[in-house]
Amino acid sequence: MTTPTPPDAAQRPHTHALFDTDRPDPYHWLRDRDDPDVLAYLEAENAYAAAMTAPTQALEDALYDEIVARVVPDDASAPVFDRGYWRYSRYEVGKEYPIYARRRGTMDAPEEILIDGNQRAEGHGYYHLGAAAVADDGRMLAFAEDTTGRRIYTVRFKDLETGELLPDTITPATPAMAWASDSRTLFVARQDAETLRSYQVTRHTLGQPGETVVFQEDDDTFNVGVGRSKDRRFVVVASEQTMTSEWRFLDAADPTGDFRTIRERARGVEYSADHAGDRWTILTNDGGAENFRLVTAPTDAPDAWTEIVPTRPDVLLEDVDVFTDHLVTQEREGGLVRLRVRTPDGALVSDVAFDETAYAADLAATPEADSPTFRFTYESLATPPQTVDVAFDGGARTVVKTQEVPTYDASRYTTERRW
């Protein structure tokens, strides 16, 4: 058999001027995704790869069929209760994309389709539904979709009562978005179309043209995100890089107001903040807390930090979920995750015990600050992924979902940890 000849990309003169130095880049022309020469070159590369791997095609097909046989084709996510509705996503047999849906009050109520990714994907060679957010009044939906595969999203709006798509659009955008309390104002993190760095937060009001920039990050080592606090009282903007954080907040009931900074950035100081009850709860490495510590601050004095969980040399404080009357911390000790229920002042109430000696566990989304339960995910080398709710009062657990794995028999496997 004749060995195929690999394609050879042409070199075209191009020079970048950077730091007073000229840097040649003869392959710069390959950046233009719409250039017919670029497309022809990519097609030649694909043809070459297909020819070189042809002898293994039968094995590839067998492996693919084996993997698909272990996937439930009409799977659905664990439902999440949020503002009177149970929200979830699901798949249909033979279709590739998720359907986002909700049911009012109970999972026995009629299903309402929020957005059908399969319908939105029609006519596109690539489609990704990045995020979907329902406004506070439950009627308006904002969703971010990418139809190019370049992580450049367009935010669109749907009236859930009429099913109508509004003419308003925001692009280029990221999937990070947050509604204000008026259900007509949306804050979106926007990106640079060339570098894809998320660097701006803009405000858009339905029915009005354009957006207003409410924050811009000029330091190109930082990326920007936007969301709502746990109690939905505030719109929060996070500006972060590898070693430094800076968070801002705005009363969600005053969308045209000014953002306030929780604490000014300082090189090497990381923090994240959330609000519930009458306080901010902040996870930070400030003060030399290499393994992080937990502090709180009054709503109107977010820079007045009071420590409630100190840093510890043998425990990494990874995450915290805040509630009106509780905190749940995710801590890693001896390589394993511990989930610990605490009072708002950090006092330990209880630990979540796990039966297996080796596992992975993570806090999961519990949208409501007044929820009587919190949620986590769990899996091990012998236990398929589970979604579990834990009651704050008494600690009773409910396994909301166990990932079904066709052909898997759990009784044939055990897991142990040797230290």
Residues 291-324 have pLDDT tens digits of 999 999 999 999 999 999 999 999 999 999 999 9
**What gap in Å lies between CA 88 and CA 232, rounded to an integer?**
20
Question: Which tokens sit at 369?
Answer: 């600050």
What percent of the chain lies above the pLDDT cut of 70?
A: 100
Q: Sort 137 into a burial class: Cβ within 10 Å, 0-12 / 13-18 / 19+.
A: middle
Sign of the CA dihedral 232, 233, 234, 240? Answer: negative
Judge whether 135 and 183 are in contact, CB under 8 Å.
yes
Q: Which helix (H) or strand (E) holds 203?
A: strand 198-205
Beta bridge partners of 332: 316, 337
How far apart CA 28 and CA 26 sit, in angstroms, is: 6
* The pLDDT value given to residue 407: 86
Q: What's the CA gap between 329 and 339, in Å, rounded?
A: 6
Instruction: Cis check for the bond before 79: say yes or no (omega within 30 of 0).
Output: no
Q: Can you read off the two tokens belonging to residue 106?
A: 């109970």
330 within 8 A of 45, measured Cβ to Cβ: no
> 14 pLDDT exceeds 70?
yes
Q: What is the tens place of the pLDDT at every residue in 372-385?
A: 999 999 999 999 99
The pTM of this model reads 0.90
The pLDDT of residue 18 is 84
CA distance 416 to 304: 45
Please list, in sequence order, all residues whose beta carbon lies within 8 angstroms of the beta carbon of residue 262, skipping any fewer than 6 positions away. Answer: 246, 247, 248, 249, 271, 273, 280, 282, 297, 302, 303
Provide the pLDDT confidence category of residue 1 given band limits of 50, 70 and 90.
low
